[in-house]
Amino acid sequence: MSRSPDVPFVYLADVDEKVMEQLLQLAKREASPDEVAPPLGGPGWNLERTAWFFSYHRAAANGLDGEAGEKSWAIMAGGNIAGSIRLKRVDGGGRKTAETGVWLGRSFRSRGIGTAALGLVLAEARRAGLEQVVARTLAGNLGAQRLLAGAGAALKPDDDGTVRAVVDL
Protein backbone atom coordinates (compact mmCIF):
# COMPACT_ATOMS: atom_id res chain seq x y z
CA MET A 1 0.00 0.00 0.00
CA SER A 2 1.43 3.38 -0.91
CA ARG A 3 1.20 6.53 1.14
CA SER A 4 0.26 9.95 -0.18
CA PRO A 5 3.34 12.18 -0.41
CA ASP A 6 1.32 14.90 1.35
CA VAL A 7 0.92 12.80 4.52
CA PRO A 8 4.06 12.73 6.67
CA PHE A 9 5.29 9.50 8.23
CA VAL A 10 3.23 9.06 11.41
CA TYR A 11 4.07 6.94 14.44
CA LEU A 12 3.22 6.83 18.14
CA ALA A 13 5.87 7.59 20.76
CA ASP A 14 5.80 6.82 24.47
CA VAL A 15 5.39 9.89 26.66
CA ASP A 16 8.36 10.44 28.95
CA GLU A 17 9.22 13.67 30.80
CA LYS A 18 10.92 15.25 27.77
CA VAL A 19 8.09 14.36 25.38
CA MET A 20 5.54 15.52 27.96
CA GLU A 21 7.14 18.97 28.10
CA GLN A 22 7.17 19.17 24.28
CA LEU A 23 3.50 18.12 24.15
CA LEU A 24 2.59 20.86 26.63
CA GLN A 25 4.47 23.49 24.59
CA LEU A 26 2.65 22.34 21.43
CA ALA A 27 -0.69 22.44 23.25
CA LYS A 28 -0.03 25.97 24.50
CA ARG A 29 0.96 27.16 21.00
CA GLU A 30 -1.49 25.29 18.81
CA ALA A 31 -4.56 24.05 20.70
CA SER A 32 -7.31 25.40 22.84
CA PRO A 33 -6.85 24.39 26.50
CA ASP A 34 -10.35 22.86 26.36
CA GLU A 35 -9.23 20.51 23.56
CA VAL A 36 -6.46 19.12 25.74
CA ALA A 37 -7.44 19.40 29.41
CA PRO A 38 -10.57 19.67 31.56
CA PRO A 39 -11.78 23.15 32.54
CA LEU A 40 -9.81 23.60 35.74
CA GLY A 41 -8.97 26.86 37.50
CA GLY A 42 -10.54 29.18 34.96
CA PRO A 43 -9.69 30.02 31.35
CA GLY A 44 -6.40 29.44 29.58
CA TRP A 45 -3.34 27.42 30.50
CA ASN A 46 -3.29 28.10 34.21
CA LEU A 47 -1.45 26.25 36.99
CA GLU A 48 -4.30 23.79 37.60
CA ARG A 49 -4.57 22.71 33.97
CA THR A 50 -0.82 22.43 33.63
CA ALA A 51 -0.59 20.32 36.80
CA TRP A 52 -3.43 18.10 35.52
CA PHE A 53 -1.65 17.68 32.16
CA PHE A 54 1.55 16.40 33.80
CA SER A 55 -0.31 14.21 36.30
CA TYR A 56 -2.46 12.68 33.57
CA HIS A 57 0.44 11.77 31.26
CA ARG A 58 2.52 10.38 34.13
CA ALA A 59 -0.37 8.12 35.21
CA ALA A 60 -1.04 7.04 31.62
CA ALA A 61 2.62 6.12 31.08
CA ASN A 62 2.04 2.75 32.82
CA GLY A 63 -0.24 1.48 30.07
CA LEU A 64 -3.61 -0.20 29.79
CA ASP A 65 -2.66 -2.74 32.45
CA GLY A 66 -1.35 -0.08 34.87
CA GLU A 67 -3.27 1.38 37.78
CA ALA A 68 -4.95 4.05 35.62
CA GLY A 69 -5.92 1.51 32.92
CA GLU A 70 -4.82 4.06 30.36
CA LYS A 71 -2.02 4.69 27.85
CA SER A 72 -1.19 7.93 26.10
CA TRP A 73 1.17 8.46 23.20
CA ALA A 74 2.62 11.45 21.43
CA ILE A 75 1.68 11.51 17.76
CA MET A 76 4.84 11.98 15.73
CA ALA A 77 4.50 13.29 12.17
CA GLY A 78 7.50 13.82 9.95
CA GLY A 79 9.73 13.79 13.04
CA ASN A 80 7.69 16.44 14.90
CA ILE A 81 5.31 16.08 17.82
CA ALA A 82 1.87 16.72 16.32
CA GLY A 83 -0.45 15.93 19.25
CA SER A 84 -1.54 13.13 21.53
CA ILE A 85 -3.80 10.08 21.42
CA ARG A 86 -4.91 7.72 24.15
CA LEU A 87 -6.69 4.51 25.06
CA LYS A 88 -8.44 4.03 28.40
CA ARG A 89 -10.17 0.87 29.57
CA VAL A 90 -13.88 1.49 30.20
CA ASP A 91 -16.93 -0.61 31.00
CA GLY A 92 -18.16 -2.04 27.73
CA GLY A 93 -21.15 -3.96 29.03
CA GLY A 94 -19.33 -7.27 28.99
CA ARG A 95 -17.08 -6.46 26.03
CA LYS A 96 -13.40 -5.56 26.38
CA THR A 97 -13.62 -1.86 25.59
CA ALA A 98 -11.40 1.20 25.61
CA GLU A 99 -12.14 4.84 24.97
CA THR A 100 -9.92 6.87 22.69
CA GLY A 101 -9.33 10.58 22.40
CA VAL A 102 -7.03 12.60 20.20
CA TRP A 103 -5.90 16.19 19.80
CA LEU A 104 -3.63 17.70 17.18
CA GLY A 105 -1.90 21.04 17.00
CA ARG A 106 -3.61 23.34 14.49
CA SER A 107 -0.76 23.18 11.96
CA PHE A 108 -1.05 19.37 11.86
CA ARG A 109 -4.80 19.18 11.20
CA SER A 110 -6.42 18.21 7.89
CA ARG A 111 -3.26 16.49 6.66
CA GLY A 112 -4.14 12.81 7.26
CA ILE A 113 -2.18 12.69 10.52
CA GLY A 114 -5.24 12.06 12.70
CA THR A 115 -6.37 9.24 10.40
CA ALA A 116 -2.96 7.59 10.56
CA ALA A 117 -2.73 7.99 14.35
CA LEU A 118 -6.21 6.57 14.89
CA GLY A 119 -5.31 3.57 12.72
CA LEU A 120 -2.21 3.01 14.84
CA VAL A 121 -4.11 3.24 18.13
CA LEU A 122 -6.76 0.82 16.84
CA ALA A 123 -3.94 -1.61 16.02
CA GLU A 124 -2.67 -1.17 19.61
CA ALA A 125 -6.19 -1.91 20.87
CA ARG A 126 -6.33 -5.12 18.84
CA ARG A 127 -2.92 -6.21 20.17
CA ALA A 128 -4.23 -5.58 23.71
CA GLY A 129 -7.14 -7.96 23.05
CA LEU A 130 -9.82 -5.28 23.07
CA GLU A 131 -13.09 -5.89 21.26
CA GLN A 132 -14.23 -2.33 20.71
CA VAL A 133 -13.03 1.24 20.95
CA VAL A 134 -15.42 4.09 21.74
CA ALA A 135 -15.13 7.85 21.50
CA ARG A 136 -17.29 10.88 22.14
CA THR A 137 -17.16 14.21 20.37
CA LEU A 138 -19.28 17.33 20.12
CA ALA A 139 -22.09 17.23 17.56
CA GLY A 140 -20.52 20.27 15.86
CA ASN A 141 -17.08 18.66 15.51
CA LEU A 142 -17.54 17.37 11.98
CA GLY A 143 -13.81 16.77 11.49
CA ALA A 144 -13.72 14.34 14.42
CA GLN A 145 -16.86 12.65 13.16
CA ARG A 146 -15.35 12.18 9.69
CA LEU A 147 -12.16 10.82 11.26
CA LEU A 148 -14.09 8.30 13.38
CA ALA A 149 -16.45 7.27 10.58
CA GLY A 150 -13.45 6.78 8.28
CA ALA A 151 -12.04 4.32 10.81
CA GLY A 152 -15.26 2.29 10.64
CA ALA A 153 -17.05 3.80 13.65
CA ALA A 154 -20.80 3.69 13.95
CA LEU A 155 -21.89 7.20 15.01
CA LYS A 156 -24.88 7.88 17.23
CA PRO A 157 -26.00 11.39 18.26
CA ASP A 158 -26.93 11.72 21.94
CA ASP A 159 -29.39 14.16 23.51
CA ASP A 160 -26.58 16.00 25.32
CA GLY A 161 -25.13 17.52 22.13
CA THR A 162 -22.45 14.86 21.68
CA VAL A 163 -21.93 12.04 19.23
CA ARG A 164 -20.87 8.58 20.42
CA ALA A 165 -18.66 6.52 18.13
CA VAL A 166 -18.10 2.77 18.37
CA VAL A 167 -15.47 0.86 16.40
CA ASP A 168 -15.85 -2.91 16.60
CA LEU A 169 -12.49 -4.60 16.39
Contacts of 99 by beta carbon, 8 Å cutoff, 6+ apart = 87, 88, 90, 133, 134, 135, 136
Q: Which residue has the higher pLDDT, 20 or 2?
A: 20
* pTM of the full structure: 0.91
For 5-24, write each residue's pLDDT tens digit. 566 799 999 999 999 999 99
**145 Cβ partners below 8 Å, 6+ apart?**
137, 155, 163, 165
Mean pLDDT of 141-153: 92
**Beta-bridge partner residues of 97:** 90, 132
Q: From 3.40.50.300, 2.60.40.60, 3.40.630.30, 3.40.50.1220, which CATH number describes the 10-168 domain? A: 3.40.630.30
Q: What percent of the chain has pLDDT over 90?
A: 81
